[in-house]
Amino acid sequence: MRRFVIQLAMTLSFLLGVPSAFGAGRQTSANPLVWDAMTKKYSATETEAKHEFIFTVKNSGNNEVIIRAVQPSCGCTIAKLPKTPWPLQPGESGDVSAVVNFDEKTGTFTKLLTVVSTAGNQILNMELSVPVTEASMNRAKNRETSITNRQAVFQQDCAKCHVQPAIGKTGEDLYKAACAICHESPHRASMVPALNDLNKKTYPTYWKYWMVNGGHHLMPAFAKTKGGFLTDEQIDSLVTYLDKKFPSPSVIKPFSEK
Ligand code: HEC
Ligand code: HEC
């Protein structure tokens, strides 16, 4: 609701022709924080899965302004300030960075940053165009198939990529063929975690449990006894490999620092 009111206020001031500072587009006239643009656009190529937007701000007022936070509109965006809180003296300027991960999203969409400062809130817009490709359409279709049946990934045409390259392999080779295809793809869905950054204690029975049983969402069960295609011997070889490749972290970061 608050965001809506702010947007409404900004739209109104825009429509009513309140002069915008530096001709920088929509800008609440009263706010001394002047941005190089309130809206930035980016057209991604097929191979990109994220983009960093940089917004430059200047304190054009006569008093110090403290930027307390920059809040992204979704978990897909990571915003960084030079420091938090970030005091800007009159005339001082600097950059805010926001990395938007769009992995499985296509089309044109806008993500927002709410800048919370002692001078009031402002909204920055990041508009992204991500091309719809045959690959992205297939990906979406495959994901839907897996949501209704997570074992489908081992069947019919899916097996060409998700099973055949892994047949007869063990250890590292097996990991690359059977696991990295999902877990290390730059285009993977946001629900597929990075195994090198799990931020939790891991141990051999942990690895084994996940491989044997799969997950609640898209991760299939790999054990032959559960409808997968891996033998006990192959699973054990992966346990040994994974326990070394992704050792348990010595420090678990609090959620806020993730
Ligand atoms: C041409 C090879 C290929 C085929 C065929 C294929 N996949 Fe995939 N699959 C991939 C790759 C590569 C990824 C990693 C994400 C990416 O890069 O698209 C992936 C990822 C996935 C994921 C993880 C979610 C995601 O999008 O990141 C699921 C679930 C999945 N595939 C299911 C299926 C199902 C079900 C089928 C059959 C209907 C299938 N795949 C057929 C190559 C393939
Ligand atoms: C079809 C894509 C796909 C493949 C192939 C796949 N995974 Fe996963 N994996 C997922 C998804 C999606 C999740 C998220 C949890 C869920 O599905 O419930 C996940 C979760 C996990 C987790 C749990 C992470 C956590 O949060 O604790 C582990 C461990 C894991 N996978 C290991 C593996 C290993 C090892 C392999 C190879 C034998 C593998 N995965 C193959 C998609 C895949």
Q: What is the pLDDT of residues 61-89, one digit of tens each?
A: 999 999 999 999 998 999 999 999 999 99
Q: Whose CA is nearest to atom 43 of ligand 1?
A: 161
- 161 and 87 in a single domain? The answer is no
**Structural domain harbouring 28:** 2-130
- DSSP, res 140: H
**pLDDT value, residue 133:** 83
Q: In terms of domains, do 77 and 141 share one?
A: no
For residue 252, being part of any structural domain is answered with no
8 A C-beta contact, residue 122 and residue 114: yes
Question: ∠ CA 14-42-40 to the nearest 5 degrees?
Answer: 25
Q: What is d(CA 15, CA 198) in angstroms, rounded to the nearest whole number?
A: 48
Could you tell which of 161, 184, 190, 219 is best to mutate to test the pocket of ligand 1, judged by most ligand atoms within 8 Å of the CB?
161
Give me the numbers of helices (H) and strands (E) for the chain, helices first please: 7, 9
pLDDT value of position 256: 60
Q: How many domains does the chain have?
A: 2
* pLDDT interval class at 151 (50, 70, 90): very high
DSSP-derived secondary structure letter, 115: E
Domain boundary among 68, 98, 130: 130
DSSP at 178: I
Q: Look at residue 202 and tell me if it is in a domain.
A: yes
As a whole number, mean pLDDT of residues 14-34 equals 57
Query: Any idea what the CATH number is for the domain that residue 151 is in?
Result: 1.10.760
The domain that holds 94 is classified in CATH as 2.60.40.10
pLDDT of residue 27: 47
Does residue 125 share a domain with residue 34? yes
Q: Does ligand 2 come within 6 angstroms of the Cβ of 210?
A: yes
pTM above 0.85, yes or no: no
Q: What was the pLDDT predicted at 257? A: 56
Predicted pLDDT of residue 32: 97
